[in-house]
Amino acid sequence: MSWPPVYSKEQLAAKVSVKTLIRVMDGFLEMKKVLLAKIDRGDKLVEERLRDLVEKSITFDGERTLTIAGKQVRLAVPVYKGIWNRSCRYERGDLVTLGGSIWHCNASHPTDQEPGNGPVWTLSVKAGRDAR
């Protein structure tokens, strides 16, 4: 088998959970920090070997997008965006709070529609009674 192994989307989905993928990304980010520190200290061997890998580098935007060898991969993970704001545009997977409830965005394209007004949002957690 060649290294790194190449999997189809179906094979990858069957082998890797989202949690595992996030742990792998965290490992790559930590490894990147260590290697950059070695380069800063003047380690020429590391610098030469990494120069060859620049085109195959992996970057993560910290939210949903991985860039691998110049190709973007969007992860289907929920991202909490805070209190709903009319001036913001939300996309599928975004979570917002409105009126004490948490809403999940189902939109296939960015939307500024208010939660509770149509099929774009699904109520995830309903507001409870005030604690007194």
**Between 79 and 34, whose confidence is greater?**
79
Which structure tokens are listed for 72? 């973007």
> What's the pLDDT score for residue 85?
94
130 within a domain of the structure (yes/no): no
**Between 13 and 130, whose confidence is greater?**
130
State the DSSP H helix or E strand holding residue 103, giving kind and residue range, or none if neither: strand 101-105
The pLDDT of residue 132 is above 60: no
The pLDDT of residue 1 is above 60: no
> What's the pLDDT score for residue 66?
82
Q: Say yes or no: 68 and 85 in one domain.
A: no
Phi, psi (rounded to 5 degrees) for 71: -105, 135
Q: Are strands 101-105 and 94-98 parallel, antiparallel or unpaired?
A: antiparallel
Q: Say yes or no: 15 and 60 in one domain.
A: yes
3 within a domain of the structure (yes/no): no
CATH number at 86 reads 2.10.10.90
**Which tens digit of pLDDT belongs to each residue from 71-101?**
788 887 889 999 999 999 898 889 999 999 9
Range of the domain at 99: 79-125
Domain count, the chain: 2
